[in-house]
Structure 1
Amino acid sequence: MAWIRNGSLKGKVLFITGASRGIGQAIALRAARDGARIVIAAKTTEPHPKLPGTIYTAAEAVRAAGGEALPLAVDVRFEDQIQHAVAQAVEHFGGIDILVCNASAIYLAGTLETPMKRFDLMHQVNVRATFACAQACLPHLMKAANPHILVLSPPLKLDPHWLAPHLAYTLSKYGMSLCVLGLAEEFRKDSVAVNALWPRTTIATAAVQNLLGGEAMVRRSRKPEIVADAAHAVLTQPSRQCTGQFFIDEEVLRQIGVTDFTHYAVDPSVELASDLFV
């Protein structure tokens, strides 16, 4: 497809899960610069010693960036909380144009080392919540002018290399990606775009800092803004022409003319680390 460049999300209502920090917050702030209206649907309401940000600090940042914000405490494991948040969003903003399924749980371990409570958590937060959020938002998305669902999940590669080291996590992320395939086809006739987005490199988030290698891995990562800019590019495309795709952040940005990625690097002097599944 021919990519539209310099599109705007002005006035659009985005329902973003996990938007209190990291990639979710970066996507919210990029949309806010256009004058978008952001529903910050996340669990953190009180400051956490190891995790920066709450739904309220994220809302302040969105407003400072030029957008409107509705912070809602939502644990995406629970259907009633999702349904209530969607109803509040529609009541407050009048509808929903875009759903971003960003909330995710990660536990990288082999089969014998993965407690079933961790397996359950990843499947609840990753695949089940993607399905539940889509189910709750779709009646409103189908009324929108250019509706999009964007899922932060990887391209589907049935390579044992990605299954063997951390089967439980891979299953949950691939489940999100299967939702993309299924929803895109099911709602194609309704002009609802459903796509996946995944980073080429590791991204400097709390998960990388706390679980995937600490400060050394953060230095080899890119900033969340690269995913946010790529998400913005996808979400401003015509929904009828852009659906059922598995996008990589860097490839998206190249499509809209970006050639220099240096400013996205945490430390441009070190070699970037590739993310999982790419």
Structure 2
Amino acid sequence: MLGGMPTLKGKTIFITGASRGIGKAIGVRAARDGANVVVAAKSKVANPKLPGTIYSAAEEIEQAGGKALAVPCDIRSDEEVARAVAQAVERFGGIDVLVNNASAIFLADTASTPMKRYDLMQGVNARGTFLCTQTCLPHLLKAENPHVLMLSPPLSLRPRWFAPHVAYTMAKYGMSMCVLGMAEELRERGVAVNALWPRTVIATAALNLLGGDETAQHGRTAEIVADAAWAVLTRPARQCTGNFFIDEDVLRAEGMQDFERYAVKPGEPLMRDLFVDEAREG
């Protein structure tokens, strides 16, 4: 806290998959407070089909007012994650926040899912989240207000969320099960563990798998998730853990009423994201 107001100033935020999309947006939002942001992702070389690298993201973060460290990191590798965390601690002195944002997606039914894709999603989403949390934990335990935030959905056993893409659902729910277990495991030690998920589709590169530009017209920008993440990460860790937050609900609790600023195309009807049940609609 700075002058009684919530802030991430001086905090070190380790974000996986932060070279683009939601991960980068969270980093930029934290940077506006003057945070240190570790951009841990695979993208070292620009790809015309998938814009953004760890270096371009780090540049944006520094332009926003923060300090950035770009670290090439495949979160499926124990060695690369250990190296990235060590570099972060060496550069900034510790880790206050871990954002498990990196994710692999492949929306297909059982017969159409190659095992290579299955393994990728499990390796990045479920295992990668567990590994990064485990590796950052010794440093989080030393932090003043430690938070772990998963970009993963609320848990639901409704068959409708499994039937069309069971492999992807299992992998994303693996991240959410980490929240369920780790929040309780670490509650007495003061480390907050929460999940955050968008109510609507978010216009990112991953959206190409859900319909591309046409779908994006009915979505919101990544800034809504970034603003919601900031609101969660500035809360007292001991009073905010084990939650499965929806971005819009978080911001409503902060007093926001007008969400048009986040619309890709204001006035268009919004498309609900995967895993958001009607009962969770505001």
Please give the range of the TM-score, normalised by the shorter of the 2 chains. Answer: over 0.9
Partner Cα distance (1:146, 1:89) in 2: 18
Higher deviation after alignment, 266-275 or 94-103 = 266-275
1:269 matched to which residue of 2?
A: 267
**SS of aligned partner of 1:9:** coil
Higher deviation after alignment, 23-32 or 5-14 = 5-14
Give % identity. Answer: 65
1:158 matched to which residue of 2?
A: 157
Partner Cα distance (1:185, 1:79) in 2: 25
AA aligned to 1:259 is Q
The C-alpha deviation readout for 1:121-168, integer Å capped at 9, x for no partner, is: 000010000000000000000000000000000000000010111000
Residues 1:29 and 2:28 aligned together: yes
AA aligned to 2:53 is T
AA aligned to 2:176 is S
**SS of aligned partner of 1:144:** coil
Partner Cα distance (1:74, 1:161) in 2: 34
Residues 1:54 and 2:53 aligned together: yes
1:139 matched to which residue of 2?
A: 138
Equivalent residue for 1:222, pick from 216, 220, 223: 220
1:127 matched to which residue of 2?
A: 126
Residues 1:14 and 2:22 aligned together: no
Structure 1: which 5+ residue stretches go unaligned? none
Equivalent residue for 2:246, pick from 237, 245, 248: 248
1:205 matched to which residue of 2?
A: 204
Residue 6 of structure 1 and its aligned partner are, at CA, apart by: 5.3
The C-alpha deviation readout for 1:184-235, integer Å capped at 9, x for no partner, is: 1111111000000000000000011x21101100111100000000000000
AA aligned to 2:217 is R
Q: Which has the higher contact order (CA 8 A, sep 6+)?
A: 1
AA aligned to 1:220 is H
**SS of aligned partner of 2:14:** strand
Partner Cα distance (2:242, 2:111) in 1: 35
Residues 1:88 and 2:87 aligned together: yes
Partner Cα distance (1:100, 1:79) in 2: 17
**SS of aligned partner of 2:98:** strand
Partner Cα distance (1:66, 1:161) in 2: 43
Partner Cα distance (1:52, 1:107) in 2: 19
**SS of aligned partner of 1:240:** helix
Residue 99 of structure 1 and its aligned partner are, at CA, apart by: 0.1
Partner Cα distance (2:153, 2:166) in 1: 14
2:280 matched to which residue of 1?
A: none
Superposition CA RMSD, Å = 0.8
Partner Cα distance (2:75, 2:186) in 1: 23
Structure 2: which 5+ residue stretches go unaligned? 277-282
The C-alpha deviation readout for 1:172-193, integer Å capped at 9, x for no partner, is: 0000000001111111111000
Residues 1:176 and 2:175 aligned together: yes
Residues 1:194 and 2:230 aligned together: no
AA aligned to 1:214 is G
AA aligned to 2:164 is P
* TM-score (ref. length: structure 1): 0.97
> How many residue pairs are counted as aligned between the two chains?
273
